[in-house]
Structure 1
Amino acid sequence: MLKRILLCNFLLLLVFNGCKSSKVPENLIPPSNPVWISYDSLGDTLRINLENRIKAPVRITIDADDDLWKVRLQKLNLNFLVLEAEQDTILVIDSDSREVPKLEFKAALGDPEKKIIYSKIALPIPENKAVQIIQGYNGSYSHYKATSKFAIDFKLNVGDTIFAAYEGFAVQVHEGYTKGGNDIKLLDYANNIITYNPQTGLFFQYSHLAFQGALVEVGEWVKQGQPIGISGMTGYTNIPHLHFNVLAPDPRELRLISVPVDFIEGYSGKDLRKNEVIKK
């Protein structure tokens, strides 16, 4: 029997705070089909089809609930596989059984073998607007994990335009959520955009966008300074703001980790402290 799997949630959204509970949506809105996987037993072989549909590399791990298959997959180094941007791959594995094993697939954005290149980026905020920093590096509220330690929260009004900090392809766009509030269950319900720059290997995350607040589509090439989204208050927050995070693949774990940034406007990310006011 053919089994098909859609891997769509690559990155847990890293969001901020709130104060009033909101009703939690019943279901996550399906993102835009980044990776399709199907597998089946054909005679004495297991055939696995992997399709990366986005313009960024994806890491995939394959595991099994059967101990013999676990060992087999590990020997074939299939517990860690990189699919390049828009790459399709077919894996054919010898099997001593016609039964289809129960496989588990996990995915994360990025190729940890690619050299990361750091360069200055643009502030993602509107020009000539005084913007307060809500939380900076290593913020005690939510910027204390490896996945968020260098994120910056910019206080913006609902409806303010967000601008691309760097050029790249849009690889994830969520804009269908409407709820926001002080409920940890809303953590995965923030509208967001993630872009990828193939030259630097870096990912750029813009979170808490308004409902239908994306101004780009998956696969679109985004220029630096281009309007990319509309600020909102979705997800685990009651403060209208932009959660901005630059990320790189973690070479040790299946995830993206936050990395420090400097801005072409003369600001260094490490110097942006809570309550400081900046202008682009």
Structure 2
Amino acid sequence: MKNNNFKKIFLPVVFIGVFCIIIRKCSFHSLPKNKFQLFKFSIEESYEENEYQLLVKNPVKCPIGLLLSCQDDKTNEILNKLSPILLEASADTLIRIKDRGNLEGKIDVKLRIGNPDIAIQSSKIKSLPYPNGNSYELLQGNNSNPTHNSNISRYAFDFTMSTGDTVTSVQDGYVIGVIDGYHGWGNGDKWKSYSNQIIIYDTITYLFTMYGHLKQNSSMIKVGDYVRIGQPIALSGQTGQAQEEHLHFNVLQADNVKGGLKSYRLDSIGNYKVKELKRYQLMTN
């Protein structure tokens, strides 16, 4: 009789517990209707006296590359000879094309962040991306499943930070990208583009650092700001492709890939040698 009573009480409790765990791992959010950009990119076009002009302004404190194309074959040949065009930090360029008619709205401009010809100056990051004295577990490390196995994320780190925990910069540098308007999360690649994030560029080492899955509207900095190591920049969250609350931290270098950036392999981060790190290891800044 006691066993029957035990089953009547225990089994429903277990079922409820398992159900709650499943619910936590499932998203009921819809994909955001609007997409946000890391920074505003300025393009001005004009046409007069049989000359088309394209003025492109670099709004950030790092180099960017421009890839130009056009569906018209002859115009595309001209653009191929020009591309890629490298714009230094905060610089602009004026492109002139004669005798091809009015090309306004017909030129496709793709952007690559950084200059891949600049040699990286360091393989060490002195700080972890949270305040001194704080400790978090390493949820996922380098070159690992389920998500750190592509050019853009291979050497990233995920830390078990809760929503609202303070995120700090690991280096001095300029803020070159901020997205903080997204709310919601989900599973699968379709959610990759909907993470709130900040990107900072170090003009000494030429490394970019990215902080992802940030809480909506939590950014404490803006594009163009110069930040210092240890400075609070945002709050951790759960946005984009994120099954649970955590901070996605990635060190990036310029490369000739789509978007211009790929994940960069560190030797050490904070006081830790990267090759010795283990999943779920507690890491103190």
The TM tier, using the shorter chain, reads 0.7 to 0.9
Structure 1 residue 151: Cα displacement: 0.5
Matched, 1:87 2:91: yes
Match of 2:117 among 106, 113, 117: 113
Q: Please give the TM-score of this superposition, normalised by the length of structure 2.
A: 0.85
How far, CA to CA, are the matches of 2:129 and 2:79 in structure 1? 43
Distance 1:278 1:98 in 2: 58
Contact 1:64/1:101 (<8 A) preserved: no
From 45, 49, 54, give the equivalent of 1:43: 49
Code of the residue aligned with 1:109 in structure 2: it is I
The CA deviation at 1:211 is 1.1
TM-score normalized with structure 1 length: 0.86
Deviation at 1:92, TM superposition (A): 1.4
* CA distance in structure 2 between the aligned counterparts of 1:26 and 1:40, rounded to whole angstroms: 32
Q: Is the 8 A contact 1:175 1:192 kept in 2?
A: yes
**Is the CA contact 2:138–2:279 (under 8 Å) kept in the aligned structure 1?**
yes
The equivalent position to 1:249 in structure 2, one of 247, 254, 266, is 254
Deviation for aligned residue 1:158: 1.0
Q: Does 1:194 align with 2:194?
A: no
* 1:120 partner amino acid: K
1:215 counterpart = 2:223:
no
Q: How far apart in 2 are the matches of 1:211 and 1:100?
A: 36
Identical-residue share of aligned pairs (%): 32
Correspondence 1:227 to 2:232 = yes
Q: 1:133 aligns with which of 118, 138, 147?
A: 138
Corresponding residue pairs, total: 260
Q: Which residue of 1 aligns with 2:71?
A: 65
Higher mean C-alpha displacement, 267-276 vs 145-154: 267-276
CA distance in 1, matches of 2:284, 2:67: 43
How far, CA to CA, are the matches of 2:100 and 2:235 in structure 1? 54
Q: Distance in 1 between matches of 2:38 and 2:213?
A: 16
The answer on whether the counterparts of 2:120 and 2:207 sit within 8 Å (CA) in structure 1 is yes
Which of the pair has more CA radius of gyration?
2
1:97 is displaced (CA, Å) by: 3.3
Residue 36 of structure 2: SS of its match in structure 1? coil
Deviations 1:202-244 (A, max 9, x none): 1110001111111111111010111111111111113111100
Q: Quick one: which amino acid aligns to residue 203 of structure 2?
A: P
**For the residues of structure 2 that align with 1:253 and 1:29, how far apart are their CA atoms?**
18
C-alpha contact 2:52 2:101 (8 A) present in aligned 1: no
Residues 1:182 and 1:251: Cα distance change in structure 2 (over 3 Å): closer
